[in-house]
Structure 1
């Protein structure tokens, strides 16, 4: 578990603003001066400490949860690489749902998602499926979990192929 840093919070503030295609001045104008451009720029550079009160104002303006601004840093993509699903095990679990350690709904979501990837890639003969970072992120989002929780669930159900498998 990593702790949020001033840099991670600063980068997240800037990323949110840029994702909304706003300049610092645009934010000042749209917020009716509640978030001055020079102050927001200082937060984004990490030159100024962000108070909880001001973080709430900024989160409300951007329409994001306060927890998102102050959350742990997002996992870098290289940490998600190398995830390989055992499609043979998936088929066995589909036949014998009693073997599934987690609830039935997550397995149905996983099964539908994996089937969709196989269809999209036109890979009907494979016994394994390599998941891309974007696949893992999308699947975790669909399941309402973090990427780490998804990988843990896959591992618990023995669906991951690792170098020591």
Structure 2
């Protein structure tokens, strides 16, 4: 493959990522043009997304700021690592299907006269309103924001309105704030961050 063809293929992959993130943000090309003060004309952004033009690094950085995502999320992922986790899980006999139940060391029941035994917890999921997170004050907000930003990057999910976190995420956040899962869930409700329904 010659160098020009490689560059063209890379521009197409970058364009695909640009389009994917813009659509997750539910923005039209025209909305991006308006939000950027016409720095990113709809026609030029469309050309970037189709891979017809290559975007410069400074413009890519400004677009990442506009979308409120890390700049590396606008770049294609290294295909050398695609499928690595699935191969690992298959190699140890675990599928990548959703786990229905989790068990943890701190989830046990103790009865008088009987040994401690673990109980299975159905996977708890909590949906957090990210737009309300900006209104929360104090160290809780900073910790939640950093942790939820990390989850968004891992999931490639930048819709920016809400995020659903799992039991283990609640447990980790709770531990950092010296709370158990129930207390953490209640605290999210008190802060007005938990979406129900």
TM-score norm. by structure 2 comes to 0.39
Ranked by relative contact order (alpha carbons within 8 Å, sequence separation 6 or more), the top structure is: 1
Name the one with the larger helix percent: 1
Which protein is richer in strand relative to its size?
A: 2
